[in-house]
Structure 1
Amino acid sequence: MKVFKFGGASVKDAAGVRNVTEIIRTQGQNAVVVISAMGKTTNALEDLVRTYFHQQYSNTQVHLEVIRAYHYGILSELGASFNAVHQTFIQLETYLTQSPKASYDDTYDQIVSLGEVLSTQIIAAYFAEIGFSVEWLDARQLIRTDSNFREARVDWHETKQRINRAVTSNGIKITQGFIGQTSDGRTTTLGRDGSDYTAAIFAYCLNAESVTIWKDVPGVLNADPKWFDDTVLLNKLTYQDAIELAYYGATVIHPKTIKPLQNNGIPLHVRSFLKPDAPGTVIGNSEGHLLTPSFIFKINQVLISLHPNDFSFIAEDNLSRIFGRFAQAGVKINLMQNTAISFSVVVDNNPDRVPALLTQLRQDFRVSYNDGLELITIRYYDQGTIDRVLMNKKLLLEQKSRYTVQLVVKDQG
């Protein structure tokens, strides 16, 4: 059994659906296929959640109709059945007629999770249209999680039992990325862009032969093509290097993906759905570290510096309180650095979470911050690579280890 994963860019329109279906039909005859929401549907559903939760009902209806028209348009172009998709929209409409009762994160998961349901229903409908048999699996019934909405933790024992009961025969299985369910039937999500992680969960539970993540790039590159013209394809990566790159923000692989695969020694392939015959990158137990420097850029960062009000040292009790505040606010730290009387962190500038966090931190500390920053990480750096990325940049903070340097910078202009 193999596991394939296709992201939203691969199924953003009818042509994409046809292409993905052909790849599955020719290369995934015995595979579990994990599929993300189509195109930018997750973003559109997030807008829907925001207006619904704040009871802006006219805007909610506008967002709903845009999402419906997008999916129905793809179905029409494919000539596929509307039945399952129509039922999902009825379910969503019914939910939206009720006043919000749950927390924002709970509400988010009940609505945003439907993007993956819709995309897989459309893929399954198109397979039926072309006369090819596939089995549609509901990941909400298979991946059991806790109730930590928007960042749910997997119950591995229960999930493994459920997946193995569901996947008992060969053939193509179509299922959703990113989503699961609590023991009391509430839908959860596994973290933004978590479909890679879903593929790893299925692979681990089934002890799969391999996982292939299909992207719009030829494999894992040493930098994002948006930032560099002369990128280099990395043919092989160790699990350790892949984990490091994902942890620091490389968007090609979700950070949680590698560990379940490494535990069972399952290779991970990253290949292009635009050139499906190309070999791409393989991640596994290969020996030796990268020889090519890798660059990771995270924009819209905030540098937050905390100082005790009484000039006391930043000691263990302070750090415990600080980390507790960040965990409570649901804000992840991308970099941290401390001196005797200050503690600095770099985080994504999330407007829904960072302002509330700053308010909480000011109860215990003097707080200063800079926004509009970039965080640049170079894996296997040298001085030449550092100089290259610092051109026309003001350096605010630098942190080095043996193999990795992180630079917090602001544009000079």
Structure 2
Amino acid sequence: MQVFKFGGASVKDAPGIINLAQIVQKNQDKQLLIVVSAMGKTTNALEKLTRAYVEQSDEVHTIFDEIKQYHYDILHQLFEPGDAVFDEVANTFVEIEWTIEDEPQDEFDFIYDQIVSIGEMVSTRIVNAYLNKVGIKSHWLDVRGYIHTDNTYREGKVDWPKTTQSIQHDVPALLQKGCVVTPGFLGGTSENFTTTLGREGSDYTASIFASCLKAESVTIWKDVPGVLNADPKLFKDTVKYDELSYAEAIEMTYYGASVIHPKTIKPLQNAKIPLLVKPFLHADEPGTIITETNYITFNTPVIIVKQNQVLLSISTKDYSFISEDHLSDIFGLFAKTHIKVNIMQTSALSFTVCFDDDTERFEKLTAGLKQNFSIKYNNKLQLITVRHYKPELVKELTAGKTVLLEQISRNTVQVVVK
């Protein structure tokens, strides 16, 4: 049995869904569980809708209508009018309509998960219906009843024993009957509320199912030839890695490589399940395989650029040294506001951290810090990480930029620049 995961770029339009079906058709000799992301840039659009709703902007219904129209345009290219899938999609969008009818009462993160999750719910309904239409027997599975999480909205923590039990109880029998299509990125709480697993979390969904089902492999279908040494949107002449170790892949995702979600690798490593990253437009190409392999010599450095970073310096109000007690309080606030530190540095009088900018979480963090500390910050920065670096490359990457913070270890250089 294998797990396939298709990202948003691979299902952004009708030709993409047709291509997905052709890939599945070629692999019908295998038991397949198929995890699908929201279509194209739908998650970004739903995030915009969430913010507009919380701020009670006049744009709410305009944004929502655009999202619906985008999906209905794809539906009309794939199905005849009157097909049951039109009602399935309309009924799914109703969940958003119910939410935005009333004024927002709940925390932002809760509202976010209830609205943004609809992207995956709709995309999988469409994919599942199309597979059945072209003769591929397929069953739609509501992932929210199988991946069980706590109530940490926007980053649900998986209850592994309960999740494993649910998946193993039902899914193997469904796979005997045909493909199973399920939304990525989502989980469910014990109160039946929807959670999300963190941005780009569909990879993690595939990893969870593979681990619980003891899959032969996981394949992530991307719009790139495999795992590259840098983002091809930012750099020319990128190099594809044919093979990576689990350890190297974990390091790359930890530092922000966007090709794989950071939590994806560990469950696969624990179960010794290989992960393949392959191009969905050239399905026969080998892509990259990530597995338990011996150390690989890196002739090509890995370059990871994270945009929209905040660099925050924290000091005591009485100019005393930053002590372990202070650090304990500071990290407690970071944990409470669910902000991940990308790089940190301590001096006698200050503690400096770099992290992704998130307006709501940043405001909560600074409000908490200001009670006992003085703070200064810069935003709209870049964090450049180079693994297996060469000094001349770092110099080239930082040329013409102001370096605000730099850290160098044996294998890795990290630089925060303006």
Map residues 11-410 of structure 1 onto 2, 5 A cutoff: 11-27=11-27, 29-56=30-57, 58-79=58-79, 81=83, 82-167=86-171, 168=173, 169-170=175-176, 171-291=178-298, 292-410=300-418
Q: What is the distance in 2 between the residues matched to 1:263 and 1:338? A: 34
- Please give the per-residue CA displacement for 1:195-242, whole angstroms capped at 9, x wherever unaligned: 000000000000100000011000000111122211111111111100
Q: What is the distance in 2 between the residues matched to 1:384 and 1:27? A: 46
Residues 341, 243 of structure 1: alpha-carbon distance in 2 compared, 3 angstrom cutoff:
same
Shift of the alpha carbon at 1:94? Answer: 2.6
Q: What is the distance in 2 between the residues matched to 1:386 and 1:93? A: 49
Give TM-score scaled by structure 1 length: 0.96
Shift of the alpha carbon at 1:290? Answer: 4.0
Query: Which runs of 5 or more residues in structure 2 are unaligned?
Result: none
- Please give the per-residue CA displacement for 1:147-193, whole angstroms capped at 9, x wherever unaligned: 11111000111111111122123331100100010111111111111
What amino acid maps onto 1:159 in structure 2?
T
Aligned length: 409
Question: Contact 1:237 / 1:290 at 8 angstroms: preserved in 2?
Answer: no
Question: Contact 1:290 / 1:380 at 8 angstroms: preserved in 2?
Answer: no
Shift of the alpha carbon at 1:55? Answer: 3.1
Shift of the alpha carbon at 1:76? Answer: 0.4
Residues 137, 404 of structure 1: alpha-carbon distance in 2 compared, 3 angstrom cutoff:
same
Shift of the alpha carbon at 1:318? Answer: 0.4
- Please give the per-residue CA displacement for 1:357-410, whole angstroms capped at 9, x wherever unaligned: 223322222212222221110111121222221222222211112211101112
**Stretch moving more, 14-23 or 88-97:** 88-97
Q: What is the distance in 1 between the residues matched to 2:261 and 2:107? A: 26
Shift of the alpha carbon at 1:22? Answer: 0.9
Matched residue SS, 1:407: strand
What amino acid maps onto 1:275 in structure 2?
H
Residues 217, 324 of structure 1: alpha-carbon distance in 2 compared, 3 angstrom cutoff:
same
Q: What is the distance in 2 between the residues matched to 1:61 and 1:77? A: 24
Q: What is the distance in 1 between the residues matched to 2:358 and 2:253? A: 20
Corresponding residue for residue 10 of structure 1: 10
Q: What is the distance in 2 between the residues matched to 1:393 and 1:59? A: 37
What amino acid maps onto 2:49 in structure 1?
L
Shift of the alpha carbon at 1:341? Answer: 1.5
Query: Which runs of 5 or more residues in structure 1 are unaligned?
Result: none
- Please give the per-residue CA displacement for 1:55-114, whole angstroms capped at 9, x wherever unaligned: 33x422212211111111100001153121121123332333233332221111111111
What amino acid maps onto 2:87 in structure 1?
N
Give TM-score scaled by structure 2 length: 0.95
What amino acid maps onto 1:305 in structure 2?
S
RMSD of equivalent CA atoms: 1.4
